[in-house]
């Protein structure tokens, strides 16, 4: 099993050596997909769930009028479907944003792993619940947040998600989304995404060049977007905690709140 997945699951439960061994035994040969391809899934009893190891993907929906809405953004460590997924129920399509390498995980293998160890079950439930929290947060963003706020909120969320799998460095991360893909994720037009980005940039909060996003002042960005990381249920990431940790990291100044 991919190390990124274990890293993420450790946020949700304490996994013993044995637990990790069980999960590792589910590993399958890696598969590669090029960018901008759909990841096709079989709906059979022998179903495999894609577990992303490298690269970014998304779950999306295309409406009759041609508009597209991205429902979730998937990064390394993300399991694309719940571990108890029913074989006969189909899902919204997945598409790669960058080249992706993933592990196909056998559905029934996961279920058996969950039954064999309470810690694994707990970790998988945790993973599932966090995924639905992330989707709910998107509901809140789309329904009640202004464009720049919405944009910054996503940046904060991805920062923490990527941090747990070790993909954050120098206060930033690789951000492969095109402005038009970002628009589909945020329910905005490309033009307006562009203007929201300029607003964030000119406030000195972020920079975004060459597919790399840097957050210059996480605390201020979080403040601006009323980003409260508790919904990610990361070990010890309450609002203050993440805020001050970021402040220390990014400015070298220690504040006590």
Residue 39 interacting partner from DNA, a second copy, none (CB closer than 5 to 8 Å by kind): none
| Contact between 178 and DNA per CB under 7 A | yes
Stretch that binds a second copy, among 40-48, 133-141, 159-167, 247-255 (CB under 8 A): 133-141
CB of 190 to DNA, least distance (A): 6
Phi, psi dihedral angles at 211 (to 5 degrees): 60, 30
Q: Which helix (H) or strand (E) holds 154?
A: helix 147-164
Stretch that binds a second copy, among 22-30, 44-52, 82-90, 202-210 (CB under 8 A): 82-90
Q: How many CB atoms lie within 10 A of CB 214?
A: 15
Are 83 and 124 contacting, i.e. CB atoms less than 8 angstroms apart? yes
Binding mask 100-139 toward DNA (x if CB under 7 A, else -) reads ----------------------------------------
What does the alpha-carbon distance between residue 102 and residue 91 come to, in Å, rounded to a whole number? Answer: 18
Residue recorded with tokens 């969950």 = 114
Sign of the torsion formed by the C-alpha atoms of 171, 176, 177 and 179: positive
Residue 61 interacting partner from a second copy, DNA, none (CB closer than 5 to 8 Å by kind): a second copy
Encoded tokens for 67: 């508009």
Q: Which residues bind a second copy (CB under 8 A)?
A: 61, 63-65, 67-69, 71, 82, 84-86, 89, 92, 115, 121-122, 125-126, 128-129, 132, 135-136, 138-140, 142-145, 186-187, 226, 233
């Amino acid at each position: 099993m991919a190390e990124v997945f274990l890293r993420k699951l450790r946020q949700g439960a304490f996994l013993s050596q044995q637990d990790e061994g069980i999960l590792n035994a589910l590993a399958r040969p890696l598969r590669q997909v090029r960018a901008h391809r759909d990841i096709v899934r079989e709906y059979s009893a022998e179903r495999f769930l894609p577990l992303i190891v490298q690269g970014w993907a998304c779950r999306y929906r295309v409406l009759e009028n041609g508009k597209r809405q991205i429902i979730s953004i998937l990064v390394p460590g993300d399991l694309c479907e719940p571990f108890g997924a029913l074989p006969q129920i189909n899902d919204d399509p997945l598409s790669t944003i960058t080249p992706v390498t993933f592990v196909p995980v056998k559905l029934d293998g996961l279920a058996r792993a969950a039954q064999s160890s309470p810690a694994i079950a707990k970790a998988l439930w945790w993973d599932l619940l966090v995924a639905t929290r992330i989707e709910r947060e998107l509901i809140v963003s789309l329904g009640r947040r202004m464009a720049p706020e919405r944009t910054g909120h996503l940046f904060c969320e991805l920062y923490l998600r990527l941090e747990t799998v070790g993909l954050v460095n120098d206060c930033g991360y690789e951000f492969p989304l095109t402005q038009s893909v970002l628009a589909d994720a945020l329910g905005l037009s490309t033009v307006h995404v562009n203007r929201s980005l300029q607003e964030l940039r000119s406030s000195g909060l972020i920079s975004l060049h060459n597919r790399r996003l840097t957050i210059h002042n996480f605390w201020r960005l979080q403040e601006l977007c009323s980003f409260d990381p508790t919904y990610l249920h990361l070990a010890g990431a309450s609002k203050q905690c993440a805020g001050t940790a970021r402040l220390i990291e990014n400015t070298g100044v220690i504040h006590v709140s």
